[in-house]
Amino acid sequence: MGKYPWKSYSPLRTHDFDDGVLVNGGQPGQLFVCRNCGRRFKFDSTARRTWAVGKGRSFPALQDAITSRWISEACTGGPNEHDESDSKRIKLGVA
Assigned domain for 15 exists: yes
Identify which has the larger pLDDT, 4 or 13: 13
Task: Examine residue 92 and state whether it is found in any structural domain, yes or no.
Answer: no
Q: Indicate whether 41 belongs to any domain.
A: yes
Count CB neighbours of 74 within 10 A. Answer: 9
At 65 the three-state DSSP class reads helix
Residue 44 in domain = yes
Q: Rounded mean pLDDT of the chain?
A: 78
SS3 percent helix, strand, coil of the chain, rounded to 5, is 20, 20, 55
In a domain, 47, yes or no: yes
Would you say residue 31 lies in a domain?
Answer: yes
Domain of residue 68 covers 5-86
Cα distances from 28 to residues 75, 82, 89, in angstroms, run: 24, 27, 20
Specify if 45 maps to a domain: yes
Q: Which of 44, 81, 41 is nearest to 62 (CA)?
A: 41
Lowest mean pLDDT among 1-5, 17-21, 27-31, 89-93: 1-5
Give the helix/strand (H/E) hosting 42: strand 40-44
In a domain? residue 14: yes
Note the pLDDT tens digit of each residue in 21-67.
766 666 677 888 888 899 999 888 788 788 899 987 788 899 999 99
Q: Give the global pTM.
A: 0.76
Phi, psi of 45 (to 5 degrees): -65, -30
Number of structural domains found in the chain: 1
Residue 7 has pLDDT above 60, yes or no: no
